[in-house]
Amino acid sequence: MAAAERASQSIRVSERTGPLHPLVARTNAAIANAHANYRGMVTAHEKGCLGISVGMKSNGRAIRIMNALVRGLEARGFPVSVGLDDRKPVTVAKINDEEVMFRLEEGQSMKKRVKKPGDTYFYEGYDHVPSGKLTLTVVPQGTIELAQQRLAMLKKAVLDFARANQGGITNADAASMLGLRSDYRNHQKDYITYSILGLLLREGKIIRVDSSRHHCATGE
């Protein structure tokens, strides 16, 4: 019975593009007129568009998936709208009084560059290209606000630390003294504090003394 119930609640994606939901139709038209970025991805940035970011070859499949998803959610009594997250379009579904944001995105893969006849300038390397793999990224309600609150707290802690030390602080100082040591598989060590210092630099709240790699509060 449980398996049958889950099957009845599943959303099927048609292999053919049927009648498009108005939000999906608007998004499809915007993507058709959009230009791919340097990684071959297109995004509908126009107002009122759903959160889709894919390569042009995957657009038809992405539209079918989003059309089935939006229609399936609304058929189950969950209204769908659009919004912006960090200036990117997102799809918002209201499920049991909770707003859940999601985007349909295509992953990236690395492709080795090949010199073409007539290329005047060429250097070996790899390019990011659409992988063909689509992923639905879900952001539960409250997680963005929580992340921004914690980021503000981290920035304040590092800034207060810099203000208390007139000679300035290094990244190693911030990571060690504030208990913010970090790494990724034992590499890219202490990038958390590097990023926080970078944000404070951009905001003009600290300056960097290149000769000593120290960061000093500006007093603002």
Q: Is the pLDDT of residue 66 over 50?
A: yes
Give dist(CA 121, CA 178) in Å, integer. Answer: 48
What pLDDT score does 168 carry? 94
Q: b/e map of 53-91 (b: 16 or more CB within 10 Å)?
A: bbbeebbebbbbbbbbbbbbbeeeeeebebeeeeeebbb
- Give all domains of the chain, ordered by start, each with its CATH number: 2-140 (no CATH), 145-217 (1.10.10)
Q: How confident is the prediction for the chain on average, in pLDDT?
A: 88
Work out the average pLDDT over 158-163.
Answer: 96
Q: What are the beta bridge partners of residue 85?
A: 88
Q: Is the pLDDT of residue 95 over 60?
A: yes
Question: Among residues of the chain, what percentage have pLDDT more than 70?
Answer: 94
Q: What are the beta bridge partners of residue 98?
A: 95
The string of pLDDT tens digits covering residues 167-219 is 999 999 999 999 999 998 888 889 999 999 999 999 999 999 988 889 999 97
Q: Is the pLDDT of residue 39 over 90?
A: no
**62 alpha-carbon distance from chain centroid:** 17
Query: What are φ and ψ of residue 7, in 5° steps?
Result: -65, -40
One-letter amino acid identity for 201? Answer: L
What pLDDT score does 7 carry? 45
pLDDT level of residue 13 (50, 70, 90 thresholds): confident
